Amino acid sequence: MSYVPPEEQETKITITGMYSQLAVNTAIGVGTLIVFGFLRPRNGIVYAPKQKYSSEKKQPPKIENQGIFSWVKPVISAPEELLVEKIGLDAVMFLRFIRMCRNMFLWLFLLGLAIAGANLYGTRQDRKQFPKTDNPLQYLSISFLRNSRWFWIHVAFTWIFSLIIFRFLYKQYKEYSTLKKQYFRSEEYQSSLHSRTILITGVPSNMQSDEGLQKYVIGNLKVNQQQVSQVHISRKVGRLPELIEEHEKAVRDLESVLVKYLKDPNHISSKRPKHSLGGGCGEQKVDSIDYYTSRIQSLEEEIYSERERIKERKAINYGFVSFTNIADAHSVAKKFEGKVTLNEPQILLAPWPKDIIWNNLTVTNAVKGTRRLIGYAFFLLLCFFWLIPISLLSTAAQIQNIVKIAPFTEDIFYANDFVAGFIQSWMSPMIMGIFFIVLPQILRIISRYQGKVTKSSLDRAVLGKLYLFFLINNIVIYTLSSTFLDLYGKIRATINAGNTDFKDFYKVIKEADFLDELADSLIKVSSFWINYISLRGVGAIFDLAQIVSLILISIKKLFVQPTPRNIKEFSRPPDFDYPVYYNIHLFFFTVGMLYSVIAPLILFFCFTYFSLALLVYRYQLMYVFTTKIETGGTFWRVVFNRLIASLLFWQVIMITVMNLKGAHIQSVALLPLPAITLIVKFICAKRFDAPIRYYKRKSSDPEYNNNIVSNTNDKVSNRFGHPVLTAELITPMVHSNVKHLLSKVYNGRIDEAKVNRRGTIRSMSMVVGKNNQSFNIQTVDHKELEWDEQAYYEEQKPGYYIDYSETASNYSGTTYASANNFPQKNQNHHQQRNMHPNNNPRLPPNSPNSPNNPNYHNPNNPNSPNSPNNNVYPKQPRPRYQYDNNSSSSLHLLRQESPAPSVDNYSNYSDDASSLYRQQPREINNYNNSAPRGGYTPPLPPPITPPQQYNQRGYNQNNYNQNNHNNNYHQNNYNQNNYNQNNYNQNNYNQNNYNQTNYNQNNYNQNNYNYNHQNYNNQNDRGYNNHQGY
């Protein structure tokens, strides 16, 4: 074998590596697109979940054609106005950012061709022939230019590029300002409660009441009392967050046990599942089903008890104030913006309730200041310790560095060009990508610890830290480490040659010309970033195809035995991680600008990547990803500031490189650019910041014309209560094909029924045990597994935990014990909804459970409320459990007595601090002829006095004495003879047709407990006490 000099060998490896990577990337990209085009119409759960979960208003355009590339046209042809309505302003601003980068790099690439030609021509003129190099692409850069006159070309294009970018940024900011004003005037924003609410944190103890907070707002904030609508001070929630988390874990554990135990619907094993509790000497085996069921019940009792006592808890240092209109709330927030002191409350615009990080609201300003310092210290330590993997990557990025450090690898790498090229072009970018998967999670923990009060502000803080981290580690430290490694390689070569004298080392360092080496290293690593951007383009196509998600879901379904809840969750549209995706593209923008003049070849790869990314992420945001919290594009200000920082960094680097190359006069010509960049930033901020942050009312706005649809249930104490107070306690799920085995599992009989929640009919198996007590388990048909209603409703009403006008927690609002006919108090503390929903436009029109479906009211439809098989029953009290050695399952359902109603149970739904926790009026349920088995017969409703008699009696709230909890309500006093069918027909309250639709809103006001707005003195008419509340 003939000898090949190392320089020629390295050149061959570099060219081979780049060619091989481009070929492989192209092949993988095209192949992945074809696979995606084939799988897309056949896997809607993975590739178009938003079409299942979006309402008609939010539905993305349907792709009728099933061709491989038929999805491209609907994606690229969708106008921006449609996208704002369908996917929200946050997603539109992300796409606008990518489009702006694509257009910028198109202009820069076309102009960069002239720079590359000038570099090539200047290198040939200065050196008469092209010098030898391990990377021939350096001929297109400024690496080999000697005569300083050539650098005037680069100075001129630096100015031209800067002016082009200034124009794009200003235009984008101006257009965002217009879009944000439209967002403020949109019906969704105008009708939302949070838009006219402010959040006040750091409230002193003497103001921690509704009255105290209202006095502070009116007195200190100089607000007229007529402008204030509602005031609410929050209270401690105690152990509720931990209890609800434990409850969910127990339910999921029970579901996992049941799905394995009942895997064969035709047979049930005699060996019940068991697991160990404790450890060491105290370890014991327990029946898993019995244990988790008992655990669920005990946790539910604790949760209900904690919720009932919540109004007795101490108030805390934050509250919410709602105004009568949006402009007043924004005016107050703007007036006190940035006024943060240690002892004074801080005033902010209220975010979406779901956006709030509740634990951080109680953190004081002094503690936040300390935490911020600690968080930044951790961040700096993280940057320092990240040097180790980054240094290794910078070494592996160039084969000659590996050879210099480990000479024994020379024969290995130089003997196989393809392997060496693969390692240099593929491995380093891939390893770097893997390292940065975990980084956002670490930074999110740090930012949360620093006291961010909203998830959206947390994301923006993560974006800022991510970008700074990438800038420091991936560019500055990466370039410096490459320079030092190159210097170390030269020293190592000197030692290997036998020159160990100090003078020899000094000579090597002196001849190395460190500053010149630094400039050359900055240029050399451009090939690494070309490879990285190229590889990330393939990653974007992989994001489109979601091969990993498809494989993981298939594996879980085949081998992990997922529960019905797990399968439902697989179908949820994933949330779009804005900090991560913004950071990737910001970083590519920075890299592209950094090398735009000194190594312009990178501009082509940047343009190609952003063009591909725009297509990919338009599809992803239209059909796959959802925006977890819509903030109206607030990421743009953070992104804009990072773009300005990128420009400043690039301009400073250009000034430095010019000086390192000896073009000192040319570097002076670039000095005004950073100042001009800062002026552009301040002009944009001065002109556009106020309109995009705060709403200013105009005479043409809907609110001014009083066209806002008011919602009487939009109460601050409801919407901005801690979510643990309103969170639904999940019910265990099993597959419907094994529900007949539940009686054997729990040693009881099964009652089948249907329940209605949020307009969706659910199948429920009620396991009835001793004393006719029950345990509810939801049974799910296989057709329902591909649709997760929780994700759907979150997509319809983002930002709110509970829609109080439409949502019930668990089941019906009234509980009847089967041992007697005493109505029991419902454990749910918020308003219950109608068991027969009206047409709900929020449900998918094609859903079998939707009232909008023509078959919904067909008696032959098992999901219809008119079906004889649809037994809508109210919620049973949650039972407790005890072990019984005489039972085959050693578990019996014990009767749980409901506590007597509290004083507040029948109070009007007021807006004071405790109103959220009061028992709401029970709803009227639908009773069919086919009542559930097991003696489950509801009592007849109370007699209804004709409307003309209501005026004579004058029922008022005070006469309906809350403390009258005697036991006079029994069968004799509640004389059923007075409720004969004939007398009861005049009001349409017969037993077979107890239809809530006939009980309209005017006749039965659930909030005020009256009929026809008249007074009904129940106590004087019948003499039974208020144990039953109407």
Does 290 map to a domain?
Answer: no
Secondary structure of residue 1011 in the 3-state scheme? strand
State whether 910 and 790 are in the same domain. yes
- Based on the structure, what is the number of domains in the chain? 4
Smallest CA-to-CA distance from 572 within 33, 54, 95 is with: 54
Other beta carbons within 10 angstroms of residue 499's beta carbon come to 14
Render 879-926 in DSSP notation, one character per residue: PEEE--TTSSSS-EEEP-PPPPPPTTTTS----STTGGGSPPPPPPPP
Residues near 132 by Cβ (< 8 Å), separated by ≥ 6?
7, 8, 11
CATH of the domain at 330: 3.30.70.330
- SS3 string, 859-892, reads CCCCCCCCCCCCCECCCCCCCEEECCCCCCCCCE
Residues of the chain with pLDDT under 50: 1-11, 13, 703-713, 759, 798-851, 856, 862-863, 865, 868-1030
| Claim to verify: residue 559 and residue 585 sit in the same structural domain | yes
249 in any annotated domain: no
Tell me whether residue 390 is in a domain. yes
Report the pLDDT value the prediction gives residue 700, as an integer from 0 to 100. 59
299 occurs within a structural domain: no
Asked whether residue 348 is domain-assigned, the answer is yes
Arithmetic mean of pLDDT over the chain? 72
pLDDT in the model for residue 277: 86
For residues 879 and 901, state if they share a domain: yes
Examine residue 277 and state whether it is found in any structural domain, yes or no.
no
Same domain, yes or no: 98 and 144: yes
- Out of 884, 911, 937, pick the residue that ends a domain: 937
pTM of the prediction?
0.74
Considering the domain architecture, whether residues 67 and 205 belong to the same structural domain is answered as: no
Any domain includes 265: no
Residue 161 to residue 621: CA distance in whole angstroms: 31
* Per-residue DSSP letter, 714: -
| Rounded-to-integer distance, Cα 504 and Cα 496, Å | 12
pLDDT value, residue 91: 96
What pLDDT score was predicted for residue 559? 75
Q: Are residues 480 and 407 in the same domain?
A: yes
Tell me which residue of 700, 912, 916 sits closest to 829, measured CA to CA. Answer: 916
Determine the pLDDT at residue 84. 94
DSSP state of 206: G
Give me the phi and psi of 954, to 5 degrees please: 65, 65
Please tell me the distance from the alpha carbon of residue 599 to that of residue 603, in angstroms, as a whole number.
8
| C-alpha–C-alpha distance, residues 782 and 761, integer Å | 15
**Span 487-529, pLDDT tens digits:** 666 666 666 666 556 566 556 555 556 666 677 777 777 777 8
> 75 with 215, same domain?
no
666 and 525 belong to one structural domain? yes
d(CA 283, CA 940) in angstroms, rounded, equals 52
- Tens digit of each residue's pLDDT (9 = 90 or more) over 415-450: 666 666 666 666 666 666 667 778 899 999 999 999
How many angstroms separate the Cα of 623 from the Cα of each of 44, 83, 87? 10, 11, 9
Strand intervals (E) in 611-759:
733-735, 749-757
pLDDT at 183: 94
Are 629 and 539 found together in one domain? yes
Are both 398 and 533 inside the same structural domain? yes
Domain of 795 in residue numbering reads as: 729-937
DSSP type of residue 837:
P
Q: Can you give the pLDDT at residue 574?
A: 87
741 and 599 part of one domain: no
Q: In the listed set 937, 956, 973, which residue is the last one of a domain according to the structure? A: 937
Asked, for residue 298, whether it belongs to a domain, the answer is: no
Query: 877 with 956, same domain?
Result: no
pLDDT, residue 596, reads 93
The pLDDT of residue 840: 39
CA distance 394 to 382: 18
Closest by CA position to 874, among listed 814, 943, 817: 814
